Structure 1
Amino acid sequence: MCEQTPAALARSYYETIDTDRYEALADRLDPAFVHVRPDQTLRGRDRFVTFMREDRPMTDTEHVVDAVYATDPGDASGGGPAGEATGVAVRGRLLEATGDELFTFLDVFTVTDGRLTRLETYVPVE
């Protein structure tokens, strides 16, 4: 995987899911990746990729990124020294294949050494 800023890494996360490129998705994730979402917590890169490929309820969807917020927008590299975590928040919408909006989301990523290590997903309560 080529070196990406944390913001570019977060954007590419959605692109790999939306295009069913699961090996590329795995390349972006740390082996100990954790995804905390309102309905469950997925621990481990392999478990997460398996869920995205085989178990998620809807696969014909598109993530629309409305805004990306980096920990330090003035830092062109988007991160600190090796081993130091940085954060990226993404505000967006999940669309059905028809283009209808399923829900809005706020994803908060932790990035360490060029890989996504943690993702916390927040969705509005209606």
Structure 2
Amino acid sequence: MHGTVVCVDRSQLLKGLLDIIVLRVLADEDAYGYEILHRLRKAGFEELGDATVYGTLRRLFKAGHLSTYVMPSDAGPHRKYYALTATGRTRLRAMREAWEDVSGKMRALLDSPEKG
């Protein structure tokens, strides 16, 4: 197996992190769909597809973690903005705590010497 290049599909890992990623992107400022995609891409999540992100927004809205409102736009049709609800902020805090716990354990595990 030495010298073999293994390609890792990050999409499965990201699927489990979509909620925290989207909630975090909206934590500082409300945004409409395209703006959310832009923020995600700027943060390095270029591989997240538009349909995946919009599906996550709909799911988080249905769960009560996001609210929406419509604003007029000078550049075309009205835009639907997404905002965190109090429940969404609570969910983000809980997810962040879980992430810190799991990522700390993973770092310790990955940094430990491999026995082979």
User: What is the TM-score with the length of structure 2 in the denominator?
Assistant: 0.27
Structure with greater proportional helix content: 2
Larger radius of gyration: 2
User: What is the TM-score with the length of structure 1 in the denominator?
Assistant: 0.26
Structure with greater proportional strand content: 1
